[in-house]
Structure 1
Amino acid sequence: MTSNAITTDDPRLTAVRPSPRQVAWQAMEFYSFIHFGMNSMTDREWGLGHEDPALFDPSSLDVDQWMQSFAAAGMTGVILTAKHHDGFCLWPSRVTTHTVAASPWLDGRGDLLRLVADSAAQHGLKLGIYLSPWDRTESSYGSGTAYDDFFVAQLEEVLGEYGPVFSVWFDGANGEGANGRVQEYDWDRYYATIRRLQPDAVISVCGPDVRWCGNEAGHTRANEWSVVPAILRDIEQIADKSQQVDDGEFSREVRSDDDDLGSRSALEGQLDELIWYPAEVNTSIRPGWFYHGEEDDRVRTDTELFELWCDAVGGNATLLLNVPPNERGLLADPDVEALQGVGRLIAEFAARVLPADPTVSSGGIESDDGRPEPLRPELTQAFGRGLTDASWRPAEHDQTPSIVLELRSTAAVDAVVLRERITLGQRLERVTVLGIRNGQEVLLAETQAVGYQRILRFEPTDVDAVRVQVDAARGRPALQSVAVVGGAAMH
């Protein structure tokens, strides 16, 4: 019988690689959820279904205001709730009358999905779509194939007529319909439809490409792994942990079950069934997902959002931040101010990357095909979205590979940003960051998982150089970049 134990260089650990669509999605880093629709008009979180379309009439709708605010925050895309559980469609669907076409908004000639798609493109943002399979209005819901036909027809409309889509987002909600029955979703058929119409789109959360981080409070694991057991794609497990009640508290709950998903011990016995299944952190800027006026004084501050960004985008995940427009169709002032503020904080953090001269213990820059290349400036930089086509790879015999970044002058530093070349898998398992001052070393930070990006923050420390040492890895490391961030003034 073949042993399933993990060896130091077990090729099964590094053989799992992301798809091109997963790589493109990961590089987006930070994007917006837009919960808007019938619930915005009725002041609810979950609609009951069969709401009168006449209720949908946003008096001052301005999607350009939304996009300008998202762009100011440093976001790269938007995901619109084209249809929530109540079944009301924000586009004029041809398979139901429960749509904006039956509303007084723009005399029934409006198409909010079209407006969002066009405005997003104009502001350099990618489009994503949330389409709830649970439909509390549609009479065929719970009937089996007839409803699957209906839902696939809606997928074909929203994915075939509004341009490129980067994400199709399912949350697993699966309650009763108007007839008291529950639909058994034909996920395989839904996925096949998405792949046919939008092959570059990731299918998120209840899907094969992107997994939920496990809560809706923005909590991130200490070590987030992208290589995990295939069982984590079990959609029933995800659905069971999704929101079950209409309240304003779920988005702030933190649960830490299954905190270790990808360490060697967590993978023991499952090495033949590993998948690349990276995490997305989704949370709301407010306690609820839809806008409620009484929550205007409970909007997360720009500082809170920056902490979320550091933990999520700096913790090998992406950050999906919900920002709901009000019943008039505008983002409220507190939300806009918070978005502008976090955009400034992110830009200021990136601007504090210090120039440095790298020296490596062995090896050098290699392209994915193994060709050696000279050291590149990108090795000591970060925050350039996307991935370069090369990485630093130490020699096979180097037992403790390290890279030293010599600063141009002594400076206070308070963060180091690491990036792996994830097209070669997730390899780094333990990394130590040391500060060097007058020849003496001091521990600044340490971590296990790195992945696409890891932001390690620590108290401001005066150093001449920083050494990043790889203490454990799965095969040869592939470090795309390491950047040192300047901190408070020297003392």
Structure 2
Amino acid sequence: MRPSERQLAWQAMEFYGFVHFGMNTMTDREWGEGHDDPAAFDPAGLDADQWVRALKAAGMTGVILTCKHHDGFCLWPSDVTSYSVAASPWRGGRGDVVAEVSEAARRHGLRFGIYLSPWDRTEASYGSGSAYDDFYVAQLTELLTRYGPVFTVWLDGANGEGPNGRRQVYDWERYYAVVRELQPDAVISVCGPDVRWCGNEAGSTRPDEWSVVPRALLDAERIADRSQQADDGTFARLVRSDDLDLGSRAALAGHEDDLVWYPAEVNTSIRPGWFHHPAEDGMVRPAEELFGIYLRAVGGNSCFLLNVPPARDGLLRDADVAVLERLGRLVEDFRARRVSATATVSSGTAGDVATAWPGGGGTPWRPDAADPLPGVRLEFARPRTVEAVVVGEDITEGQRVEHVVVRGRRDGRWTTLAQANAVGYQRILTFPPAEVDAVLVEMPQARDTPVVAHVTAIGATP
């Protein structure tokens, strides 16, 4: 199994932002019921450049905007509904939040993505079948043709209609076809075939994340069934334990002829809620906690999507901005602590395996097919205290490594520092600081000859 070009480009983004903003921001709700007076939407200080600068300071590479949430209020002047910014007093009824955010993203070098909720609590045709599909496709078309390149279309599975609510059977395949036609480089995420939801909104990651999984996990209705069903405040920190292994040999048994490349995204919010609530201004998660999620997500063969919600005036609060700046420094410091080393390999040619991180590129290392224990040894010029090793596969050749062991050498003796199973695009293995003069990364189990893009040791925090 191999990723598509769009999946490869998405995986390399590693870390990007979510911006939940809209009518719910004005009404202090998470799930608006729809039909709120458009006059309530008037964020006088809205500054998309402030949002994007703060996300970029955290080390993010893109931003996804909630162009329409479940309440149905559109942040752009849609031609197919009057329930939009065009009916609000903001910018004299001539404003377009989607345009302002997409343009700010381009100015600051971030990629732009859209969230368009399939569930709509205002649109009268919702629940009617093809009439609502026509409406949704019309809005999707507007967003995909008016605002430049889009890196993702994020299709939420959340739906709280309940057993007595209006039931809309979405024409997912039609939605996908529109995206493929209008934005062929965009990945379709969550209720889509390109990027898999990790299964929770708490930022929790599996012990081992596999990009190759049974095709049954692509079922959008199954994803929707496991998504949020009620606005009760508990789902955001709910973590299930019934699907911790999706791609080991045991998990794939019986599905070997029906597999897909379906990599994971880890999403959570900087605050308890997804939209801004003044009562949560003192509950911004510390940068150190978010950095831990970053290490487990970006360092666990996933991408990390962090939500940062602007307030009613259209500005991010100072506390959120400060945390993002601190998070960016932690990420940069981690990268800067890469220990210079000389690589020797068990067979084949080392290529650029010791120098390709961060940033990628160069020639990966491919051991001989007959190599009984493929490994990369990093030799340091002097003993160094290290606390992490970063390993990445060249996933253009698939995900092959099934077990990796990290050892450190001191006084001629090797000690095991860390081990894991799945690697994939990138695995960050952390361990208590250890003073060593060499690190050995071995891959005793693989599905085929490993193809390793990079191996890097990270020095301990001074």
| Fold shared by both chains (TM-score > 0.5) | yes
TM-score under structure 2 length normalisation: 0.98
AA aligned to 1:449 is: A
Q: Distance in 2 between matches of 1:442 and 1:180?
A: 60
Are residue 308 (structure 1) and residue 293 (structure 2) matched? yes
User: 1:387-421 CA distances to partner (integer Å, 9 max, x unpaired)?
Assistant: 42631010011110111100121110000000000
Number of residue-to-residue matches in the alignment: 461
Choose 423-432 or 248-257, whichever is displaced more: 248-257
Are residue 285 (structure 1) and residue 258 (structure 2) matched? no
User: 1:313-352 CA distances to partner (integer Å, 9 max, x unpaired)?
Assistant: 0000000001000011011111111100100000000000
- Structure 1 residue 221: Cα displacement: 0.4
Aligned to 2:25: 40
Are residue 411 (structure 1) and residue 417 (structure 2) matched? no
- Structure 1 residue 175: Cα displacement: 4.4
AA aligned to 1:120 is: A
Are residue 468 (structure 1) and residue 453 (structure 2) matched? no
Aligned to 1:425: 398
Distance 1:132 1:93, change over 3 A: same
Structure 1 contact 390–421 (Cα < 8 Å) conserved: no
Secondary structure in 2 aligned to 1:450? coil
Q: Distance in 2 between matches of 1:51 and 1:408?
A: 66
Residues 52-451 of structure 1 mapped to structure 2, 5 A cutoff: 52-176=37-161, 180-364=165-349, 375-376=351-352, 379-384=354-359, 387-388=360-361, 390-451=363-424
AA aligned to 1:83 is: K
Secondary structure in 2 aligned to 1:79? strand
Q: Distance in 2 between matches of 1:43 and 1:140?
A: 26
Secondary structure in 1 aligned to 2:281? helix
Aligned to 1:5: none
Q: Distance in 1 between matches of 2:84 and 2:15?
A: 30
Superposition misfits of 4+ residues, deviation over 2 angstroms: 173-177, 378-381, 387-390
- Structure 1 residue 86: Cα displacement: 0.6
AA aligned to 1:268 is: A
- Structure 1 residue 33: Cα displacement: 0.5
Aligned to 1:27: 12
Aligned to 2:2: 17
Secondary structure in 2 aligned to 1:189? helix
Distance 1:488 1:282, change over 3 A: closer
Secondary structure in 1 aligned to 2:331? helix
Identical counterparts, % of pairs: 63
Choose 168-177 or 335-344, whichever is displaced more: 168-177
* RMSD, aligned α-carbons: 1.3
- Structure 1 residue 379: Cα displacement: 3.0
Structure 1 contact 380–484 (Cα < 8 Å) conserved: no
User: 1:294-323 CA distances to partner (integer Å, 9 max, x unpaired)?
Assistant: 111111100001001000000000000010
AA aligned to 1:140 is: S
Structure 1 contact 291–326 (Cα < 8 Å) conserved: yes
Choose 388-397 or 139-148, whichever is displaced more: 388-397
Q: Distance in 2 between matches of 1:167 and 1:389?
A: 27
- Structure 1 residue 250: Cα displacement: 1.8
User: 1:239-268 CA distances to partner (integer Å, 9 max, x unpaired)?
Assistant: 111111113332122222210111111111
Q: Distance in 1 between matches of 2:143 and 2:84?
A: 13
Q: Distance in 1 between matches of 2:381 and 2:59?
A: 29
- Structure 1 residue 180: Cα displacement: 4.7
- Structure 1 residue 138: Cα displacement: 0.8
AA aligned to 2:348 is: G
Q: Distance in 1 between matches of 2:117 and 2:456?
A: 41
TM-score under structure 1 length normalisation: 0.92
Structure 2 contact 159–229 (Cα < 8 Å) conserved: no
Q: Distance in 2 between matches of 1:468 and 1:254?
A: 31
- Structure 1 residue 176: Cα displacement: 3.9
Secondary structure in 1 aligned to 2:418? strand
- Structure 1 residue 380: Cα displacement: 3.5
Secondary structure in 2 aligned to 1:379? coil
Are residue 487 (structure 1) and residue 428 (structure 2) matched? no
Q: Distance in 2 between matches of 1:488 and 1:361?
A: 30
Q: Distance in 2 between matches of 1:357 and 1:319?
A: 31
User: 1:153-172 CA distances to partner (integer Å, 9 max, x unpaired)?
Assistant: 00110001100000000111
Aligned to 1:453: 426
Q: Distance in 2 between matches of 1:66 and 1:440?
A: 51
Q: Distance in 2 between matches of 1:197 and 1:381?
A: 34
Structure 2 contact 153–187 (Cα < 8 Å) conserved: yes
Q: Distance in 2 between matches of 1:33 and 1:300?
A: 15
AA aligned to 1:148 is: D
AA aligned to 2:366 is: R
Secondary structure in 2 aligned to 1:142? coil
Structure 2 contact 263–302 (Cα < 8 Å) conserved: yes
Secondary structure in 1 aligned to 2:364? strand
- Structure 1 residue 363: Cα displacement: 1.1
Structure 2 contact 157–228 (Cα < 8 Å) conserved: no
Aligned to 1:368: none
Structure 2 contact 26–41 (Cα < 8 Å) conserved: yes
AA aligned to 1:232 is: L
